[in-house]
C-alpha cells in the first residue's frame, strides 16, 4: 500500500475528481511523483464501487481501497451489522479479515477483535482504514490463518471465517471444499480454537450440500437485502446439534422480514394444493432459498399452485413475508393469448415455466413497468396459465 495516498493534497485531488470518468482521469496521468496514476485510479474506482454498499467508508475522508477483486467479496454494512448482533463474546477473531468491514462492526460488540489477513497489501489497507475510523480494539495480523491458528494457544469466544471464493485454478467457486481456506478440511482445528464458529458462504451454495460438508451446525441464517440473497451464515458448535434452526432475513433498510423454523419442521411439513383463488403470494428471496416450500403452505395456511411452482394462493388476504397480489384474471397460455393479452406494459415473473421473461416480453411486445403484474406459471393439472394481478 502506498502511504502517500493519505497525503492531504492527494486526497484533495481524488475528491476533486469524484465524478470524472475513469478513462479521462487515467489519461491525465498523475500530478504527484510519489503516486502513480494506477494507484489513483484504483482509489477512485474503489470508492465508486462501494458507494451504496459501504456508505460509512464512502463518506469518511482518508479511507483507502484495495484492488476491485478484493472489494467483491467484502461484506456490506447491512450484512456486517447483522452478523455483529449474532456474534456474542469478549474475544472475536476474523480469520479472513479482508478490508475489515466485519471486524469494524465486531469491534462494537466485543472487547477485543483479531483481524487476520494473509494478503499483506489488503491487511495494510484494513489496518489503515480502521485507524482512520478510530477503532482501537482491533489487532491486525498478516498471516495464513490456518498456520497462525496451528501455532497459537489463544482461544476465542467466537471465530468468523469468510472463505475466499476465487481460485487460480477454478476462478469463482462456491462449494466449501473449493474455497480458501478449506473450512471443511480444517473444521476440527477451527473448533479447537473457539467456542463457536461462524462461516459465511456464497448465496449459490445449496443448504443440503453445505450440511454434507460441515458438522455440528446449529443455525443457518439466510440474509437478503432488498430481496436479493447476499450470504448464508452457518453457526457451528463444539457438539452435535439436535434441532437445527433456519433464519431467513430480508432487509429493506430500516425494516426487515424475519422468519425462522427448524430443519425438522422443513422436512416434516406437508403442503396443500389448489387452483388460483382470489389472492396470490410470492415468498421473498431468503425464504425461497431456505427450501421451506411446504412449511410456507402449512405455516400460513395457504395453498401451493403446483409441486414445483413456488406461488401460493388464498381466498382471504394474509400478512405474508414476500409480495402479495390480487388476481384479476386467469388466462390460458395458448395460441389465442396474443389476441387476449392486450397489455403494453407490465412486470413479468415466471415460475415453473419453460420460457424466459425476455422471450415473453419479445413475444407479446410488453415493456417493463406499470401497475400490472403477470405471472406465467403451471397449475396442478400441468396447464400453463398467465395470472394477471395487481399488487396489494
What average pLDDT does this structure show over 37-53? 94
Q: How far is CA 207 from CA 20, 73, 97, 265, 382, in A?
A: 43, 20, 24, 15, 28
Last residue of a domain, one of 264, 297, 324: 264
Residue 334 pLDDT > 90: yes
Same domain, 34 and 130: no
With pLDDT > 70 as the criterion, what percentage of the chain qualifies?
97
What average pLDDT does this structure show over 181-194? 94
Same domain, 292 and 312: yes
Same domain, 249 and 308: no
Confidence at residue 255, expressed as pLDDT on a 0 to 100 scale: 81
Q: Place 382 in a pLDDT band, splitting at 50, 70 and 90.
A: very high
Residue 171 pLDDT > 70: no
Domain count within the chain:
3
Confidence at residue 93, expressed as pLDDT on a 0 to 100 scale: 98
Same domain, 314 and 371: yes
| Predicted confidence (pLDDT) per residue in 245-285, tens digit | 999 999 987 788 899 999 999 999 999 999 999 999 999 99
What average pLDDT does this structure show over 121-130? 95
Residue 129 pLDDT > 90: yes
Last residue of a domain, one of 206, 233, 264: 264
Q: How far apart are CA 45 and CA 344, in angstroms?
A: 39
Torsion of CA 124, 127, 132, 138, to 10 degrees: 180
Look at residues 23, 22, 98 and name the one whose alpha carbon lies nearest to residue 57: 98
Look at residues 80, 105, 56, 52 and name the one whose alpha carbon lies nearest to residue 231: 80
What average pLDDT does this structure show over 192-205? 94
Last residue of a domain, one of 29, 53, 71: 71
Same domain, 113 and 220: yes
Same domain, 216 and 186: yes
Same domain, 297 and 196: no
Tell me, what CATH number does 222's domain have? 3.40.50.150
With pLDDT > 90 as the criterion, what percentage of the chain qualifies?
86
Confidence at residue 73, expressed as pLDDT on a 0 to 100 scale: 79
Tell me, what CATH number does 67's domain have? 1.10.10
Q: Place 300 in a pLDDT band, splitting at 50, 70 and 90.
A: very high
What average pLDDT does this structure show over 154-174? 78
| Predicted confidence (pLDDT) per residue in 70-113, tens digit | 888 789 999 999 999 999 889 999 999 999 999 999 999 999 99
**Mean pLDDT over the full length of the chain:** 93
Same domain, 126 and 252: yes
Q: Place 166 in a pLDDT band, splitting at 50, 70 and 90.
A: low
Same domain, 106 and 217: yes
Q: Place 26 in a pLDDT band, splitting at 50, 70 and 90.
A: very high
Q: Place 47 in a pLDDT band, splitting at 50, 70 and 90.
A: very high
Same domain, 184 and 77: yes
In angstroms and rounded to an integer, the radius of gyration of the C-alpha atoms of the chain is 25
| Predicted confidence (pLDDT) per residue in 308-326, tens digit | 999 999 999 999 999 999 9
Contacts of 327 (CB under 8 A, 6+ apart): 276, 277, 278, 279, 280, 313, 387, 388, 389
Q: Place 43 in a pLDDT band, splitting at 50, 70 and 90.
A: very high
Task: Please tell me the pTM assigned to this model.
Answer: 0.91
Same domain, 165 and 60: no
Beta strand pairing call for 91-94 and 309-314: unpaired
Same domain, 210 and 114: yes
| Predicted confidence (pLDDT) per residue in 206-223, tens digit | 999 999 999 999 999 999
* Residue-range definition of the domain harbouring residue 28: 3-71
Amino acid at each position: 500500500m502506498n502511504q502517500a495516498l493519505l497525503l492531504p493534497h492527494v486526497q484533495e485531488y481524488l475528491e476533486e475528481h469524484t465524478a470524472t470518468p475513469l478513462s479521462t482521469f487515467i489519461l491525465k496521468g498523475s500530478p504527484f511523483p510519489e503516486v502513480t496514476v494506477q494507484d489513483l485510479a484504483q482509489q477512485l474506482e474503489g470508492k465508486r464501487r462501494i458507494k451504496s454498499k459501504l456508505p460509512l467508508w464512502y463518506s469518511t475522508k482518508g479511507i483507502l481501497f484495495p484492488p476491485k477483486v478484493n472489494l467483491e467479496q467484502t461484506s456490506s454494512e447491512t450484512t456486517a451489522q447483522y452478523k455483529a448482533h449474532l456474534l456474542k463474546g469478549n474475544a472475536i477473531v476474523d480469520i479472513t479479515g479482508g478490508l475489515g468491514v466485519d471486524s469494524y462492526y465486531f469491534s462494537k460488540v466485543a472487547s477485543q477483535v483479531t483481524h487476520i489477513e494473509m494478503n499483506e497489501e489488503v491487511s495494510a489497507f484494513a489496518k489503515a482504514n480502521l485507524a482512520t475510523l478510530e477503532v482501537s480494539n482491533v489487532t491486525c495480523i498478516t498471516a495464513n490463518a490456518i498456520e497462525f491458528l496451528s501455532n497459537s494457544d489463544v482461544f476465542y469466544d467466537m471465530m468468523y471465517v469468510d472463505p475466499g471464493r476465487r481460485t487460480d485454478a477454478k476462478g469463482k467457486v462456491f462449494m466449501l471444499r473449493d474455497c480458501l481456506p478449506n473450512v471443511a478440511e480444517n473444521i476440527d482445528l477451527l473448533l479447537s480454537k473457539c467456542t463457536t464458529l461462524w462461516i459465511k458462504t456464497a448465496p449459490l451454495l445449496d443448504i443440503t450440500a453445505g450440511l454434507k460438508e460441515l458438522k455440528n451446525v446449529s443455525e443457518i441464517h439466510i440474509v437478503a437485502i432488498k430481496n436479493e440473497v447476499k450470504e448464508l451464515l452457518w453457526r457451528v458448535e463444539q457438539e452435535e446439534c439436535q434441532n437445527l434452526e433456519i433464519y431467513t432475513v430480508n432487509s429493506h433498510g430500516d425494516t426487515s422480514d424475519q422468519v425462522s423454523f427448524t430443519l425438522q419442521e422443513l422436512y416434516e411439513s406437508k403442503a396443500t394444493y389448489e387452483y388460483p383463488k382470489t389472492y396470490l403470494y410470492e415468498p421473498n428471496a431468503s425464504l425461497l432459498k431456505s427450501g421451506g416450500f411446504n412449511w410456507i403452505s402449512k405455516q400460513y395456511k395457504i395453498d401451493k399452485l403446483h409441486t414445483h411452482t413456488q406461488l401460493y394462493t388464498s381466498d382471504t388476504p394474509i400478512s405474508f413475508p414476500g409480495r402479495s397480489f390480487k388476481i384479476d384474471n386467469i388466462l390460458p397460455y395458448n395460441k389465442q393469448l396474443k389476441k387476449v393479452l392486450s397489455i403494453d406494459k407490465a412486470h413479468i415473473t415466471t415460475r415453473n415455466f419453460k420460457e424466459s421473461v425476455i422471450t415473453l416480453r419479445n413475444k407479446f411486445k410488453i415493456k417493463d413497468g406499470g401497475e400490472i403484474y403477470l405471472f406465467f406459471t403451471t397449475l396442478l393439472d400441468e396447464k400453463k396459465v398467465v395470472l394477471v394481478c395487481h399488487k396489494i
